[in-house]
């Protein structure tokens, strides 16, 4: 029975290796959560092998997917079934699968938060009730809003605040700052806290952004990962932590301003569209920074 179900799911697809998947991603593009390095390293951490599948047309690879059984790889449901719930945190990441723009391939493996960019590429998408929050370009933010962000940054710096690149710190330091500030902000432990240093180390080359300090202590940090596809840039803001005792300075808002502005500047230098996802559109603060965009599921 299991083999028959697998044969149905994989009908038209053939097994490929990790190298072929990487080549497809580099050719057709994808997102942080489908990037070959992210798939390989997080699946390795979980100890769950990835089965890569490709769709051929006229002896040419038109699409590729990473799978865990009946789901796309890195699925939260699969982690849970393996007793590894919360091993790592990718939030509700946007899934862009590597496929030719006109591929129209049938996807039968379960996945959620599949990007609108998959339309035309994947033929079996179903609308999902939730939306993703995608950062607005700077010119879509009001002049007053931008003025207030710059003012808050100036006040913070006048009080002794310092902005440092997150790359200045070791993976262990980043994990410690993040887990501490997350706990202080929300009152519970961050998802994946136990292995956070390992995850940050595994994905370190994709990590971008800054850390804000006041009186030599970290007061705001965000986990933000970036990958560059041929036709766009994909950035995933996983989550953040702030010291609630410094809320008068709005350090979380200042950090969002710094991280999004620098990402937009870089994307425009490269001449590529930016997809800076804040995850699911489920919190009021995201409304200030983002537009809701539709997502799909299989």
Where b means 16+ CB within 10 Å and e means fewer, 137-174 reads eeeebeeeeeeebeebbeebeeeebebeebeebebeeb
Q: Domain tally for the chain? A: 2
Res 207 pLDDT > 70:
yes
Res 2 pLDDT > 80:
no
The pLDDT value recorded for residue 1 is: 52
Question: How confident is the prediction for the chain on average, in pLDDT?
Answer: 96
Same domain as 269, residue 226:
yes
Same domain as 154, residue 92:
no
Q: Tell me: the pLDDT tens digits for 147-177? A: 999 999 999 999 999 999 999 999 999 999 9
| CATH for 202 | 3.40.630.30
The pLDDT value recorded for residue 255 is: 97
Residue 214 binned pLDDT confidence (cut-offs 50, 70, 90): very high
Same domain as 118, residue 139:
no
Same domain as 237, residue 181:
yes
Same domain as 67, residue 200:
no
Same domain as 247, residue 165:
yes
Same domain as 116, residue 149:
no
Give the mean model confidence (pLDDT) for residues 199-228.
Answer: 98
> What pTM was computed for the model?
0.95
Where b means 16+ CB within 10 Å and e means fewer, 103-127 reads bbbebebbbbbbbbbbeebbeebee
Q: Which tokens belong to 41? A: 């390293």
The pLDDT value recorded for residue 8 is: 83
Same domain as 162, residue 86:
no
Domain extent at residue 123:
2-129
Q: Tell me: the pLDDT tens digits for 32-76? A: 999 999 999 999 999 999 999 999 999 899 999 999 999 999 999
Return the number of other C-beta atoms located less than 10 Å from residue 210's C-beta. Answer: 21
């Amino acid at each position: 029975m299991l083999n028959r179900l697998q044969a149905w799911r994989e009908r038209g697809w053939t097994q490929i290796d990790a190298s072929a998947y990487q080549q497809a991603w580099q050719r057709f593009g994808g997102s942080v959560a489908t990037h070959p390095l992210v798939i390989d390293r997080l699946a390795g951490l979980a100890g769950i092998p990835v089965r890569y599948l490709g769709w051929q047309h006229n002896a040419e690879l038109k699409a590729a997917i990473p799978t865990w059984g009946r789901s796309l790889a890195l699925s939260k449901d699969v982690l849970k079934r393996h007793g590894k719930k919360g091993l790592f945190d990718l939030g509700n990441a946007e899934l862009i699968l590597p496929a030719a723009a006109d591929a129209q391939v049938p996807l039968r493996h379960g996945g959620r938060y599949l990007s609108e960019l998959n339309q035309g590429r994947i033929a079996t998408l179903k609308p999902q009730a939730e939306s993703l929050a995608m950062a607005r370009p700077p010119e879509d933010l009001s002049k007053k809003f931008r003025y207030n962000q710059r003012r808050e940054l100036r006040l913070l710096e006048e009080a002794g605040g310092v902005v440092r690149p997150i790359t200045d710190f070791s993976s262990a330091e980043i994990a410690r700052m993040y887990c501490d500030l997350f706990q202080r902000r929300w009152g519970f432990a961050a998802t994946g806290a136990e292995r956070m240093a390992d995850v940050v180390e595994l994905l370190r080359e994709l990590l971008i952004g800054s850390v804000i300090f006041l009186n030599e202590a970290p007061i705001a940090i965000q986990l933000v990962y970036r990958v560059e596809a041929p036709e766009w840039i994909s950035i995933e803001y996983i989550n953040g932590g702030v010291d609630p005792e410094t809320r008068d300075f709005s350090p979380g808002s200042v950090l969002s301003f710094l991280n999004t502005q620098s990402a937009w500047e870089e994307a425009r230098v490269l001449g590529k569209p930016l997809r800076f996802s804040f995850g699911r559109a489920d919190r009021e603060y995201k409304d200030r920074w983002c537009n809701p965009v539709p997502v799909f599921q299989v």
